[in-house]
């Protein structure tokens, strides 16, 4: 279960971008989870390698299926630019609209470690921005 007010990062396979975003969010003290509409069997090995370079181990993470409960419980749903509109049932999309942000990032699948590092660094930058804005919005 995702805690109220937490972040939910969503992509199709939950094997790359959403896994990186969840890991960075937790690193910066945010409540976060991730899921996919068609989860892969494992996290992308190149993503695992790129995250290890940042001192974060996602090798034991298991891609998860997106559920309506996850969307209901999330304070903000962040999609990664991976056409969840095509994969999500309409009622799920309707639930997400009120709290949906799309980051429109390239999929790391099949990309070199150099390209994955660029995606990773952009995700970290955006999560840091989210962290700052959520801290400002929270009462002291």
Question: What's the pLDDT tens digit per position in 26-73?
Answer: 999 999 999 998 899 999 999 999 999 999 999 999 999 998 889 888
Residue 88 burial (CB count, 10 A): 19
Beginning with the edge strand found earlier in the chain, give each strand of the sheet holding 74-79 in spatial order: 32-36, 6-11, 74-79, 100-102
Domains of the chain: 6-137 (3.40.50.2300)
Q: What is d(CA 76, CA 8) in angstroms, rounded to the nearest whole number?
A: 6
**What φ, ψ does residue 72 adopt, rounded to 5°?**
-60, -40
pTM of the model: 0.86
**Which token pair is 140?**
């002291």
**Residue for token pair 């279960």:** 1
């Amino acid at each position: 279960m995702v805690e109220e007010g937490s972040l939910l990062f969503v992509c199709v396979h939950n094997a790359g971008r959403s896994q990186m975003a969840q890991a960075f969010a937790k690193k910066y003290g945010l409540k976060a989870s991730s899921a996919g509409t068609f989860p892969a069997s494992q996290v992308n090995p190149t993503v695992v390698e790129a995250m290890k370079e940042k001192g974060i181990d996602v090798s034991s993470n298991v891609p998860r299926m997106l559920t309506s409960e996850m969307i209901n419980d999330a304070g903000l749903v962040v999609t990664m630019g991976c056409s969840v509109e095509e994969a999500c049932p309409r009622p799920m999309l309707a639930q997400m609209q009120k709290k949906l942000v799309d980051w429109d990032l390239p999929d790391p699948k099949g990309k070199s470690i150099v390209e994955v590092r660029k995606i990773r660094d952009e995700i970290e930058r955006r999560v840091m921005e989210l962290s700052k804005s959520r801290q400002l919005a929270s009462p002291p």
